[in-house]
Structure 1
Amino acid sequence: MALIVQKYGGTSVGSIERIQAVAERVRRWRDQGDQVVVVVSAMSGETDRLIKLAKQLQERPEPRELDVLLSTGEQVTIALLSMALAAQGCPARSYTGAQVHILTDSAHNKARIRDIDAARVRADLEAGRVVVIAGFQGIDEQGDITTLGRGGSDTSAVAIAAALKADECQIYTDVDGVYTTDPRVEPKARKLDRITFEEMLEMASLGSKVLQIRSVEFAGKYRVPLRVLSSFEEGEGTLISFEDNDVEDAKISGIAFSRDEAKLTVLGVPDQPGVAHRILGPIAEANIEVDMIVQNVGADEATTDFTFTVHRNDYASALDILKRTADELGARQVTGDATIVKISLVGVGMRSHAGIASRMFASLAKEGINIRMISTSEIKISVVVDEKYLELGVRTLHEAFGLDQPA
């Protein structure tokens, strides 16, 4: 007998018919002798509907009250799914995040989980019930309802699986697994049977939308095996687990990309200690995250050129801040470009294989794609290129590294 935590997203529970289909799948798992905990999101579109209602009253809704409102979406789903299970002869009990005491901090709309009291859930499982829990939500030490931010139900499921020491956490979604890249960009993309936590974390942070990055971090920290599956078709999905002995066979596991990039450069900065902090300090104080950073020798030995990337949504704010900083530093010029993208190769096999970077650069050069910036780590190489080359770059690298070939 295994203990399985299953998570179903909004599209998987988007109608009564889909909720009944989820109930049938869950019942089959229980009928084969497994203990099952189900974590669900609000029905598709419901969270957006509630946000629109709130904004009709306040342009910036009060965070505490917004959490109270948004948490009702999942409450509807857990009740309906429990009814659907009961209608199929499967005993079930639903709980909100507060009822199973998913304790979080008090950061409304983006809370982080601190602890979970699993006693109530264990008692129901021992009694033969399926436990249905609202994802995306918890309660803080003051007893206030909190929510975890977009995609938070993934994190809820992983945290509950960790608290219960579950055998596996299954994330059911509208895709049937993790692919070598986005099939909408490269139709030859191949579904991976397995991928390591390190690789999935990089893929999520670099633009892959399959899993919320916090859920992958949580799973890696507490060693919870994760599996991504489709709600709409049968299959084994993709298992996200720990590095195994076969990892050296795969040099590259996937290609991630981000369209939401912007580049800023300050030219002719005095080449002296503390300048990098003076440039990036005000950016950090504005709560703007910086990704890639490159510092070059300037036009003369006394100056340097400093370039960094930010999310495209932060471009205008960052540019204003940088212009003020440049004036204070006596820099020559500030330039910016919001028409760039980032393409990344990811694979733990890079650690034991030389020549990955050179092959990447040669493949892009052959197609006339100029690289604007480069960033590397042990298991990834990222390049910034012009936006118009995104799809060509992804397809070129996918072929160059044989990712369309069976593993």
Structure 2
Amino acid sequence: MKAAVLKFGGSSFLHPDDFGRVARHLAERLAAGEDKIVAVVSAMSGTTDNLKSVMLGVNKQVRPSNLDAALATGEMLSACLLEAAVSRQEIPVMSLNGYSLGIRTNSDFGRASIESVDPGSIIAALQENDIVIATGGQAINQSGRLTFLGRNSSDLTAVVIASMLGERSCEIYSDVPGVYTADPYLVPGARLIPKIAYGTVARMSRYGAKVLHHRAVEYAEKHSVTIACKSLTSGGAVTGTIVTDHGNASSVTVARDTAVLSCGSPAESDKLRALLDQQDINAICTEDNHGAGICILSDVDFAIRLVTLTGNCSVSVGSRTAVTELNSSTLRVHLEDDYKRAISRAREIHEGMYPGTDGEPVAPRAAKQSSPHSSMLIRIYDAPENTQ
């Protein structure tokens, strides 16, 4: 069944009114001739961190399966809110969550890997409705337990659904219209990249670029799904970058709060590096005034859990900011203790790559926002007990 697949990130839902804005865009797409739409949604910006904080406040040793089920409620709430907003447009609509999307994974809770897909439930829903809303970043394992695909993995869900339905493209909406040569919120001279290859943007993502999830890009390449990066503005949708099989650009990425492991011995460092490589976690060896160690640049939460499970008490975990310069011939990672210094270094590197662009803003400079409504659960959790 033919259907447009659109994914809306957490930055699309800063306020409850934003669900109405997205619903109107979906209605406009149908009015313009779109037959069916699958809208994949993320949790409201900031919700996942708040949910995790609450869970760890209850139990610092919470089971990963328990945590996955809790984090998934953020996307479930977004799906319910968008379904309500679309219903107000008098459009036939229903939402599906990880239990009914037809995506099955292994049992690596925290960052599960997809093992099989079945489009039956989505196709059945589309036969009865013009719009189906899908929760991003979640699926079930072979035992039927809810699993989490990893942080910022709603992109992956969208690409998987597009492939399941036989679609050759999907649209990813975020607070910026595409992939830039640097984070435009941090580097004023960052340039929008109109077209970029899967491998290039996946590499950028693994080193800290936030626009697309690296596993989503890798899945898209494997299944020949073109990704259109877009932004929803007051004037409509704006397309910034097309991710396909060709296109390259030099870039600089900034990964804040990367995990740096200090090991008791070189042998222990080699052992941990092999473990992380086996799990396809992007980690590099480091050696500076902090001594020898390993820097984890992607899937940090999942990686730290793996390291913890080894039971090695000689490994200590620190946090630093990684600035990475990337081009066809260079991959150089700079670790900084001071975040402001890291941003300055990123700007210097970018200016060297693209002379004369510093100071030419190409995107809004306001800091990335969390939804003020995402803290609702925290406020309830912290509230004093109601006494009569």
Same fold (TM over 0.5): yes
| Letter aligned with residue 353 of structure 2 | F
Deviation (angstroms), 1:127: 4.7
**Corresponding residue for residue 12 of structure 1:** 12
Q: Distance in 2 between matches of 1:197 and 1:105?
A: 25
Deviation (angstroms), 1:385: 6.6
CA deviations over 1:136-158 (Å, ceiling 9, x no partner): 21111112122222112121111
Question: After the TM superposition, which of the residue ranges 279-288 and 20-29 deviates more from structure 2?
Answer: 279-288
1:283 aligns with 2:272: yes
Q: Distance in 2 between matches of 1:202 and 1:103?
A: 26
Q: Distance in 2 between matches of 1:323 and 1:204?
A: 31
CA RMSD of aligned residues (A): 3.8
**Corresponding residue for residue 310 of structure 1:** 295
| Letter aligned with residue 145 of structure 2 | D
Helix, strand or coil at the partner of 2:33: coil
**Corresponding residue for residue 242 of structure 1:** 245
CA contact (8 A) 2:13 2:45 kept: yes
Q: Distance in 1 between matches of 2:313 and 2:141?
A: 41
Deviation (angstroms), 1:208: 1.0
Q: Distance in 2 between matches of 1:57 and 1:70?
A: 14
Deviation (angstroms), 1:98: 1.1
Structure 1 alignment gaps of length 5 or more: 270-275, 296-305, 326-336, 351-378
Helix, strand or coil at the partner of 2:39: strand
Q: Distance in 1 between matches of 2:166 and 2:160?
A: 10
CA contact (8 A) 1:110 1:149 kept: yes
- More relative contact order, 1 or 2 (CA 8 Å, 6+ apart): 2
**Corresponding residue for residue 361 of structure 1:** none
Helix, strand or coil at the partner of 1:157: helix
Question: After the TM superposition, which of the residue ranges 41-50 and 201-210 deviates more from structure 2?
Answer: 41-50
**Corresponding residue for residue 343 of structure 1:** 324
CA contact (8 A) 2:286 2:295 kept: no
C-alpha change, 1:18 and 1:287, in structure 2 (3 Å) is same
Task: Spell out the pairing of 1:180-329 with structure 2 (5 A cutoff).
Answer: 180-233=181-234, 234-243=237-246, 247=247, 252-259=249-256, 260=258, 278=267, 280-284=269-273, 291-293=283-285, 309-311=294-296
Task: Spell out the pairing of 1:141-160 with structure 2 (5 A cutoff).
Answer: 141-160=142-161
CA contact (8 A) 2:102 2:121 kept: no
| Letter aligned with residue 310 of structure 1 | C
C-alpha change, 1:69 and 1:342, in structure 2 (3 Å) is closer
C-alpha change, 1:116 and 1:345, in structure 2 (3 Å) is same
Question: After the TM superposition, which of the residue ranges 385-394 and 12-21 deviates more from structure 2?
Answer: 385-394
CA contact (8 A) 2:252 2:323 kept: no
Deviation (angstroms), 1:186: 2.2
Deviation (angstroms), 1:40: 0.8
**Corresponding residue for residue 373 of structure 1:** none
Deviation >6 Å, runs of 4+:
263-266, 312-315, 321-325, 337-340, 403-406
CA deviations over 1:250-305 (Å, ceiling 9, x no partner): 6x442224453759799xx9xxxxxx7x364343477597844599xxxxxxxxxx
CA contact (8 A) 2:99 2:139 kept: yes
**Corresponding residue for residue 67 of structure 1:** 68
C-alpha change, 1:50 and 1:343, in structure 2 (3 Å) is closer
Q: Distance in 2 between matches of 1:21 and 1:115?
A: 34
Task: Spell out the pairing of 1:371-390 with structure 2 (5 A cutoff).
Answer: 380-384=330-334, 390=342
Q: Distance in 2 between matches of 1:283 and 1:400?
A: 35
Q: Distance in 2 between matches of 1:123 and 1:290?
A: 38
CA deviations over 1:96-150 (Å, ceiling 9, x no partner): 1211222111222322222221123223434551111111211111121222221
Deviation (angstroms), 1:238: 1.2
**Corresponding residue for residue 54 of structure 1:** 55
Deviation (angstroms), 1:343: 2.7
| Letter aligned with residue 235 of structure 1 | V
CA contact (8 A) 2:269 2:293 kept: no
Percent of residue pairs identical:
28
| Letter aligned with residue 79 of structure 2 | I
